[in-house]
A and B are shown apart, each in its own frame.
Chain A
Amino acid sequence: MPDQPDFSGWSCPLPLRDYPNIVLGHGGGGKLSSELVEHLFLPAFRNTALADLGDAALIDVPSGRLAFSTDSFVVRPLFFPGGSIGDLAVNGTVNDLAVSGARPLYLSAGFILEEGFPLAELARIVDRMAAAARAAGVVIVTGDTKVVEKGHGDGCYINTAGIGVRIDGIEIGPSLARPGDAILVSGFLGDHGMAIMSVREGLEFETAIESDCAPLHEMTAAIFDAAGPAVHAMRDPTRGGLASTLNEIAQASKVGISIDETALPIRPEVQSACDLLGLDPVYVANEGKLVAVVESAAAPAVLEAMRHHPKGHDAAIVGRVTKEHAGLVVARTALGANRVIPMQIGEQLPRIC
């Protein structure tokens, strides 16, 4: 990632240099606002729909069922090991569409900036969004910027909404898990949350752990190719981690979920960081992983499809759906005993006890 954004490819960066920081006028809809769009957002996102600069983007969508998702991003710090708010803003929405059985196509991007926010930092974020959008094969076609007074924001908040088209023949949802289904995860759990924790004030530690932030649309497409209707549910385990995702599925489908703890892929360093702070990796956020619930006969094919993808080398089958203990997620520990993994209440906090 370059430290300074490359303005050379952009048309006339001169007006931006007058204002090294965001001022209220940048959100006012006047000249400053349009300069921001013309000299920062447009060059970065580079597409005709955006370039028309209409109040709405006019786009052509392939026929089929539309998937529509939105997410807001408020992460602190804005840049962290392995990623940034910009990467999250694109991949987060791309992944929500992908795990809903859709091919992601178009994104909107709304910014709420705090007065005084350095323009160079905004440019870095936008640069990352553009790169992430290219990697994910999506286009950012419309957007908005508002500026709030100093002290009333946290630097930069981003909302993205996304449209995709459902892949033919795919019917999946959290209420469709069935007893006997296999549960798979696409790789190492807890990387993102612990990467953020490692730079969080008061809790910092030195580590090589990086966020796993990545787009999953190609992996999901490969899974649907391999198993089609045998895929019953799919989620990306972001906030609240694997535990929250599985609890949601267990409750929505009114089934029990049984996990083999020793099968969960967790990097030793992530485990160490969790041990240090007293956290449980199953509750830690991921930003480039998916959980798939599939008919057990299709599990080997789905595993293969995951492992074939560059981000899926460490995919594993971690458990199964059962008709017992409906609504509960239970894990078999390394000792061969059982523990309930309850739904988290609030944020998981480091403990001394």
Chain B
Amino acid sequence: MKYLTEFRDGAIARKLADEIHRAVTRPWKIMEVCGGQTHSIIRHGIDQLLPSSLQLVHGPGCPVCVTPLELIDRALAIAALPNVIFCSFGDMLRVPGSEKDLFRVKSDGGDVRIVYSPLDAVNLARRNPSREVVFFGVGFETTAPANAMAAHLARNEGLRNFSVLVSHVLVPPAIEAIMQSPSNQVQAFLAAGHVCSVMGYWQYPPLAERYHVPIVVTGFEPLDLLDGIRRAVLQLEAGRAEVENGYARVVTFEGNRPAQDLLSQVFEVTDRAWRGIGVIPQSGWRLSPAYRDFDAELRFQVTGIHTRESPLCRSGDVLRGAIKPTDCPAFGKECTPRHPLGATMVSSEGACAAYFDYGRFLSADELTHA
């Protein structure tokens, strides 16, 4: 694919890795914010090319991991209702609620459907006027424009049988929460490239200044990630703390104005609970009053939800980069990809799931070389 394959070139990747090795003189901890970046790092083995003193901390940029448990339980309850067609992105199907996941609801008879785009859910609503179609609108700022358009089109058309269960989370407040945490060790951020393609990166200079952290807008392919790391390292070594755009082919300072305009119409900022982390003030979006008629949370008053997180699960500490998955006592024992206790073991870019697979490889290697 053009503009994708070129950014996966192995030879150039190793050159970028060499540059990083040349530049690093001290240990550094860099957080990549976005779950998609974590996925790419693990998928291509990027962290293995880096000097061992350079540690990548996997951030909370994974909607699968941070969607509040209470909302998952609400989604499961709505999906189980007889007249509902519940539409979701594939990522959410295996996320554990207090007792089950969407797959269980489906096998129990719920009409749960995977869609690629929120527009597919809108189409389902048009084609099934006698059914209630609910779309699970999760994601960061990247996905919000799509979800906003779904609500917007439904309102324009008077599509009364469509509604959205919204759980949007925002990146800049998350970065702030991480930097403000007393146990924080993150020294630089790779900002989420696609979030920035929508929002721009005008929100970051105050953060870079206030917390004295380099913030590099970074893409997702191996060369993008290595270059983002390289830029962050050069800043760290030089004691600089600036915002840099390493994804200039897609991201501009102002971002996507038409998207931001509709976002400000359809959504309003709210406090949001991040699963495992807690409430971060003003860190989420919910539907604005003009669109409340299409809010599934209001339309379906589901009761009897008893939210119960596993007491063993330490996803939140992992998401904030405070501990490594292997530090969690339940890791690999009560909690495995087959029987996940929390979201970070479910998602393909969840840090715990990644460590589980790669960790087995490491220990096997130690065994054969002992």
Binding site for B on A (CB under 8 A): 201-203, 256, 262, 268, 271-272, 275, 277-278, 280, 323-328, 330, 333-340, 342, 345-346, 349-353
Given contacts A202-B115, A203-B114, whether A349 and B90 have CB atoms under 8 Å apart is yes
Beyond A334-B44, A353-B62, A353-B63, list 13 extra A-B contacts (CB 8 Å).
Answer: A201-B113, A202-B114, A202-B115, A324-B365, A334-B10, A335-B13, A336-B49, A338-B361, A339-B45, A340-B360, A350-B116, A352-B63, A353-B35
Question: Contacts A335-B13, A335-B222: A277 and B44 contacting too (C-beta < 8 A)?
Answer: no
Smallest CB-CB A-B distances: 8 pairs = A337-B45, A349-B90, A337-B48, A325-B364, A334-B10, A340-B357, A350-B90, A202-B115
Q: In this complex, what residue of B is CB-closest to A205? A: B116
Chain B residue nearest to A201 in the complex (CB)? B113
Chain B nearest CB: distance from A132 CB in Å? Answer: 30
List the A side residues contacting B348 at CB < 8 Å. Answer: 351
Interchain CA distance A328-B360 in the complex, whole Å: 8
Q: A328-B360, A334-B10 are in contact. Are A353 and B39 (CB under 8 A)?
A: yes
| Selected contact of B139 from candidates A326, A327, A335, A352, CB within 8 Å | A352
B45 touches which of A268, A272, A333, A352 (Cβ 8 Å): A333
Contact B48 A338 (CB under 8 A): yes
Q: Are A326 and B364 in contact (CB under 8 A)?
A: yes
Q: Is the CB of A325 within 8 A of B361?
A: yes
Q: Does B358 sit at the interface, judged by CB under 8 A? A: yes
For B368, give its contact among A201, A278, A325, A352 (CB under 8 Å): A325
Is the CB–CB distance between A339 and B338 below 8 Å?
Answer: no
Contact with A along B97-117 (1 / 0, CB 8 A): 000000100000000011110
Closest beta carbon of chain B to A253's beta carbon, Å: 15
CA distance A330 to B143 in the complex (A): 33
Complex Cα–Cα for A202 and B89 (A): 10
Determine if A353 and B360 form an interchain contact, defined as CB atoms under 8 angstroms apart: no
Chain A residues in 8 Å Cβ range of B89: 350-352
**By the criterion CB–CB under 8 Å, are A342 and B63 in contact?**
no
B227 at the interface (CB under 8 A from A): no
Quick one: which of A327, A340, A345 has the most chain B CB within 10 A? A340
Q: Say whether A256 contacts B364, CB under 8 Å.
A: yes
Q: Which residues of B contact A342 (CB under 8 A)?
A: 337, 357
B: contact size bracket? 35 or more
Q: Closest CB-CB distance, B192 to chain A, in whole Å? A: 11
Q: Is the CB of B10 within 8 A of A345?
A: no
Contact check, B113 vs A202: say whether CB atoms are below 8 A apart: yes
User: A204: nearest residue on chain B (CB-CB)?
Assistant: B116
Q: Are B358 and A275 in contact (CB under 8 A)?
A: no
Q: Which of B49, B90, B93, B115 has the most CB of A within 10 A?
A: B90
Task: Name, among A280, A324, A351, the residue most crowded by chain B CB atoms within 10 Å (CB to CB).
Answer: A351
Q: How far is the CA of A277 from the CA of B348 in the complex (A)?
A: 14
Count of A-B residue pairs with CB < 8 Å: 109
The dominant DSSP class at the B interface is helix
Contact with A along B1-32 (1 / 0, CB 8 A): 10010001110011000000000000000000
Q: What is the bound-complex CA distance between A268 and B348, given in angstroms?
A: 23
Which residue in chain A gives the minimum CB-CB distance to B94? A346
Task: Specify which chain B residues have a CB less than 8 angstroms from the CB of A350 in the assembled complex.
Answer: 89-90, 114, 116
In the complex, what residue of chain A is closest to B93 when comparing beta carbons? A349
B36-65 Cβ-contact flags toward A at 8 Å (1 or 0): 100100111110110000000000001110
Decide if B315 is an interface residue (CB 8 Å cutoff).
no
* Complex CA–CA separation, A323 to B364 (angstroms): 11
Give bound CA distance, A275 to B39, whole Å: 13
B91 with A351: CB separation less than 8 A: yes
User: Are A353 and B361 in contact, with the CB atoms below 8 A?
Assistant: no
Tell me the complex Cα distance, A280–B36, Å: 14
Residues of B within 8 A of A339 (CB): 42-45, 358
Asked whether, in the complex, the Cβ of A336 is within 8 Å of the Cβ of B338, the reply is: no
Q: Evaluate contact between A353 and B91: CB separation under 8 angstroms.
A: yes
Assess whether A202 is in contact with B120, with CB atoms less than 8 Å apart: yes
Please state if B1 and A345 are interface contacts (CB–CB under 8 Å). no
**A325-B361, A353-B347 given as contacts; is B4 within 8 A of A275 (CB)?**
yes
* Sampled A-B contacts (27; CB under 8 Å): A201-B113, A202-B114, A202-B116, A203-B116, A278-B90, A324-B364, A324-B365, A326-B368, A327-B364, A328-B360, A334-B13, A335-B14, A336-B14, A336-B45, A337-B44, A337-B46, A339-B45, A340-B358, A340-B361, A342-B337, A349-B91, A349-B114, A350-B89, A351-B89, A351-B348, A352-B63, A353-B39
Are A346 and B45 touching (Cβ within 8 A)?
Answer: no
A353 to B59, CA, bound (A): 13
Give chain A residues whose Cβ lies under 8 Å from the Cβ of B42: 339
**B349 at interface, CB cutoff 8 A:** yes
Could you say which of A202, A262, A337 has the most chain B C-beta atoms within 10 Å of its C-beta?
A: A337
- B36, B49, B338, B357 — most chain A CB neighbours (10 Å): B357
Residues in B with CB closer than 8 Å to A352 are: 63, 89-91, 139, 143
Interface residues of B in 316-332 (CB under 8 A from A): none
Q: A202-B115, A335-B46, A346-B94 are in contact. Are A353 and B349 (CB under 8 A)?
A: yes
- Separation of A338 and B46 alpha carbons in the complex (Å): 9
Residues in A with CB closer than 8 Å to B36 are 353
Task: State A323–B120 Cα separation when bound (angstroms).
Answer: 48
Chain B residue numbers with a CB within 8 Å of A275 are 1, 4
